[in-house]
Amino acid sequence: MQTDDIINDHTTFRVLMRAMSNPGRVFRLPRHRDVLGQRGLLAEVLRCLMDHEVTFFVLDDKSNGLSQEIYRYTGSNPADLETADFLIFLEGTSRGALSGAKRGTPEYPDGGATVVYRVEKLAEMGGEVELRGPGIDGTVRPLIVGLAGTEFGVLREVNAEFPLGLDALFLDSDGGIMSIPRSTRIGAN
């Protein structure tokens, strides 16, 4: 790996950590290079989060093309949804599959999966669902265009037994990233 790649990955990682610390806020990822063609921003995020010790699942990767690219760039191996450490949903929906994802155990609550959604557009205001919890001053109502309406309900359900649950990241085509960690309370819309 070249020095520029390491610096770029560190910059991306810092943006990811800011997003995880500030649920519902939108941060911009730097555009360093186009590692996976049209999926370059997704690749930047996955390169910072994944390595050979974790597994992943891509919903609807029928040709297995994205799974092969993720393996090549991260060293991570594909797995079933129920055992994967990272779940990748390219169309803004899990189609209810999140209910079967691993949520950690009382002894190891951090063993829950991380979900990465690719969506159309992110904004810090204008949404109908209210978020509250650590890292949020009062409440926020972020707008996530391209996320299926049922996903907030599924996320609320799988995160109902905190500290067990899933951390969610949302990535839009403009390089915006937002998080909803498992510690965030999702209000009914």
Give the model's confidence band at 39: pLDDT under 50 very low, under 70 low, under 90 confident, else very high.
low
Least confident of 40-44, 151-155, 172-176, 184-188: 40-44
48 pLDDT band, cuts 50/70/90, is confident
Q: How far apart are CA 162 and CA 169, in angstroms?
A: 18
pLDDT of residue 38: 43
Q: Residue for token digits 């090549």? A: 72
